[in-house]
Amino acid sequence: MKLELTEKDVFLLKLAVSVLILFLSVRFLVMPQLSRRQELCIRLEELAETRQEMEDSIASVPSLKSSATARLEELLAADGWVYAQSPGRVTDSRLEVGERTQDRACLLYALDEGERIISAVLDEDQAERVSSGTQFDMKAAMSDGSRITGTAQVDYVEKGADGMFYARLSFDRPEISIGQTVELSCRMQTENYTVCVPVNCIYTEDIMGAFYVYIAEERQGILGTEWKVRKVFVRILDQNDTAAAIQSMELTAESRIVTGANKPLADGDTVRIVL
């Protein structure tokens, strides 16, 4: 079969194709516009939420302002006097007369019902013997003249910028007040040493920085037997506040170490032994 199109049929076919193309173009044009509109709606909703948050923040400002105003009014009513809200003791003041108050803590105080600790200052030798958990015997004089005893335990030890060591201790006597001074003592078992002497009989060489003691020895002189002192260099094995363990090849069990003198000594001086 052979299909023949007339001029009218061709015209109608072209018109149908043109309408279809126009319909597709309009459809693709409308869809992006709808997507754009939805995006604008979402942004408007976000702006509305942000505006509400700003209004809520602004609404809270008057309450803060009124609170600050109330505190100033209380200060004026108290004639400028500042009272602590809880009982305690002032531990540090950073105020000077005529100086402008800074934006920091001007007064530090410890609460009466707060945690209480003991702060102890140690030198390097003491710090070597103390560690976390070390137990101390504690004595304290009370305001009524009585004395109490207890125990204190080291929580930690840290070195300060000044080279000293600072120990924090917890204790078991709640009646001790803030700022009160206590006495701490501790006994420790050390090694057994052959020669132990008082620390005041140990001298230091100025040039070498070495340690030495004086020993008294019998020598024959013009007037007969005399006691003369001789310098003996020693090495310190251990030491505390009162005694030191020393070592030297020149020291024996029979050595007479000079523990005190009524005048400065020098190597070779003649002395008289007082028992």
Q: pLDDT for 72-127, tens place per residue?
A: 777 778 787 877 777 777 777 777 787 777 777 777 777 777 677 888 888 887 88
Q: What is the mean pLDDT of residues 206-219?
A: 85
Are residues 75 and 126 located together in one domain of the fold? no
**pLDDT reading at 133 higher than 60:** yes
Q: Positive or negative CA dihedral for 119, 124, 125, 129?
A: positive
Are residues 134 and 77 located together in one domain of the fold? no
Between 28-32, 59-63, 107-111, 179-183, the lowest mean confidence (pLDDT) is in 28-32
Per-residue pLDDT at 45: 63
* Residue 58 domain flag: yes
Residues 6+ apart with CB under 8 A from 221: 270
**pLDDT reading at 205 higher than 80:** yes
Per-residue pLDDT at 26: 46
Per-residue pLDDT at 3: 47
Cβ-based neighbour number of residue 229 at 10 Å: 20
* Residue 94 domain flag: no
Tell me the residue range of the domain where 231 lies.
195-271
Q: How many domains does the chain have?
A: 3
Are residues 119 and 138 located together in one domain of the fold? yes
Beta partners for residue 184, in sequence order: 138
Per-residue pLDDT at 213: 92
**pLDDT reading at 19 higher than 70:** no
Select from 273, 270, 235, 239 the least CA-distant residue to 257: 273
Length of the chain (residues): 275
* Residue 246 domain flag: yes
Give pTM, 2 decimals. Answer: 0.43
Are residues 180 and 121 located together in one domain of the fold? yes
Q: Distance between CA atoms of 154 and 227, rounded to whole angstroms?
A: 49
Q: What is the mean pLDDT of residues 261-266?
A: 85
* Residue 221 domain flag: yes
64, 93, 168, 215 from 53: Cα distances, Å = 17, 42, 48, 89
**pLDDT reading at 172 higher than 60:** yes
Continuous H helices in the chain: 7-77, 124-129
Is 119 in contact with 185 (CB distance < 8 Å)?
A: no
* Residue 242 domain flag: yes
Reported as half-sphere exposure (CB side, CA atoms, 13 A), residue 235 has a value of: 6
Q: What is the mean pLDDT of residues 32-53?
A: 58
Q: The domain spanning residue 140 has which CATH number?
A: 2.40.30
* Residue 258 domain flag: yes
Average pLDDT, rounded, for the chain: 76
**pLDDT reading at 5 higher than 70:** no
Work out the pLDDT band at 234, boundaries 50, 70, 90. Answer: very high
